Amino acid sequence: MSAPRVAFVNLGCRVNRVEVDLIAQELARAGCVIVKPEEADAVVVNTCAVTAEAEAKTRKVVRRAASLGQVPVVVATGCVASLFSDELASIAPNVTVEADKSRVSETVLGELGLPAGSVGDDGELVATPTPTGRARPGIKVQDGCDNRCTYCIVWKARGAARSMGSGEVVSAVRDALSRGAREVVLTGINLGSFRGTCAGGGRIALPGLLELVLRETTVERVRLSSIEPPDVDGELLSVMAANPARIAPFLHVCLQSGCDATLRRMGRVYDTALYRTAIARAREMVPGIAVGCDLIVGFPGETDDDFERSLAFCAEMDFAKMHVFRYSRRPGTPAASAPDQVGPDVMAARSSRMRALADRMRHDQAARRVGQEELVVVQRPGRGVTGGLFDVRLDASVPVDALVRVRIGAVMEDGTLVAVGA
């Protein structure tokens, strides 16, 4: 019997990529090999419902996978599978919906007529590449969200906030290291709400988890994925400041708008004053830290003045990285039926201005790093990423997956750093 061939199509954020990684590992242990969708016996589609556009793309991708010439089994999972399972299942006879990600590998093997734990011809586990790569794998330590932002439906799909046990996190980090990781990224839907159980039965928050991972493993660098502003507190920053060589000097602090009136309509749990204080404290306690954010333009009720306030606040924050999104009307959320919806032309113009600001700030931040030393994870020949999440061009002879210290000699027009001495 030849090894079953499985392909993955991932839609959405880093948390989704981490989940795909875990499913791929489970199927690899069962003897599967990872191939392109056109070559696969089964295609796993990890769906995303964060916007109406993402949901529409999900249906398109599932439909395309189901119509491939070899007629593979298509297993859809993720947020859209949780919210609209019947609709996805009706796309084609070869589509199966499995909302429970912990059962996806079992479902794939079952649909292929194979028992869980079956292996390939040689009886050995088949080594496979995983979607997020070896050098910087993500580890999902938290899922779900207890916030109720008026534009978001993810909390319905993901459920209440819940956390992995601290011992499980340590084991996952050690497993990643055994597979060649040099940096691990701790991720979650609402990472700052992490409250994991300890060996003694107590609870541990994110700062304590960072200390535990550093103490109990040999991981060379830990990075945090996005975090809410109230969670950027003195305790977390103290841990980062005490471990500058092993915790990446970067925080992606969700903003969504730099206007307080818009933040209130969004149902966010902070205002610009709290955000400003959190970022100022981070820069004081962790010198050289780079800060990123998510930003929505065109939220219902956003006036020209509201947008100008948001634009000015972002300029004041001097972000190193911004993800700028146009508001996407998401059925089933309060914002979708709110008055004063912003027209697409206005949103496009605002997005263009915000992205131009983001590009200028990123280039300026990159230029400040010329002449400095940076610790770089090499992700592919001649390319890597710094602790502050800047792309770096370096000598192609440096081994992939290496963690190397380089000196920055120049910055390219797109903000990519150019290393010397590596």
* Chain segment 106-157, per-residue pLDDT in tens: 888 888 877 554 433 332 222 224 334 456 788 889 988 999 999 988 888 7
Digit-coded pLDDT (tens) for 195-245: 999 877 789 999 999 999 999 999 999 999 999 999 999 999 999 999 999
Structure confidence at residue 157 (pLDDT): 79
Structure confidence at residue 315 (pLDDT): 98
* Residue 320's pLDDT band (cuts 50, 70, 90): very high
- pLDDT average, residue stretch 311-333: 92
Residue 399 has pLDDT above 50, yes or no: yes
348 vs 83: which has the higher pLDDT? 348
- pLDDT average, residue stretch 306-335: 93
For the chain, the helix, strand and coil percentages under 3-state DSSP, each to the nearest 5? 40, 25, 40
- pLDDT average, residue stretch 52-57: 82
Residue 394 has pLDDT above 80, yes or no: yes
Which residues of 206-281 form beta strands (DSSP E)? 221-224, 250-252
**Cα distance between residue 291 and residue 284, in whole Å:** 13
CATH architecture of the region 138-368: Alpha-Beta Horseshoe (3.80)
**pTM for this entry:** 0.78
Q: Please state, for a pLDDT cut of 90, what percent of the chain lies above it.
A: 61
Digit-coded pLDDT (tens) for 172-187: 999 989 988 889 999 9
50 vs 13: which has the higher pLDDT? 50
The top-scoring range by mean pLDDT among 66-80, 186-200, 354-368 is 354-368
Digit-coded pLDDT (tens) for 242-294: 999 999 999 999 999 999 999 999 999 999 999 999 999 999 999 999 999 99
Digit-coded pLDDT (tens) for 20-36: 877 888 888 788 888 89
Q: Where do the domains of the chain lie?
A: 5-112, 138-368, 372-420
- The alpha carbon of 35 is separated from its chain's Cα centroid by a whole number of angstroms, namely 23
- pLDDT average, residue stretch 96-113: 85
Structure confidence at residue 237 (pLDDT): 98
Give the 3-state DSSP-derived string for 139-196, with helices as H, strands as E and coil as C.
Answer: EEEEECCCCCCCCCCHHHHHCCCEECCHHHHHHHHHHHHHCCCCEEEEEECCHHHCEE
What mean pLDDT, rounded, does the chain reach?
Answer: 88
Structure confidence at residue 247 (pLDDT): 97
The contacts of residue 233 (CB under 8 Å, 6+ apart) are 278
The contacts of residue 295 (CB under 8 Å, 6+ apart) are 255, 256, 257, 258, 310, 314, 322, 323, 324, 325, 354, 358
Structure confidence at residue 115 (pLDDT): 59
**Cα distance between residue 295 and residue 307, in whole Å:** 11
Domain 5-112: give its CATH code. 3.40.50.12160
Backbone angles phi, psi at 57, to 5 degrees: -65, -35
Structure confidence at residue 118 (pLDDT): 43
Strand partners, 252: 292
Nearest to 194 by CA among 161, 225, 172: 161
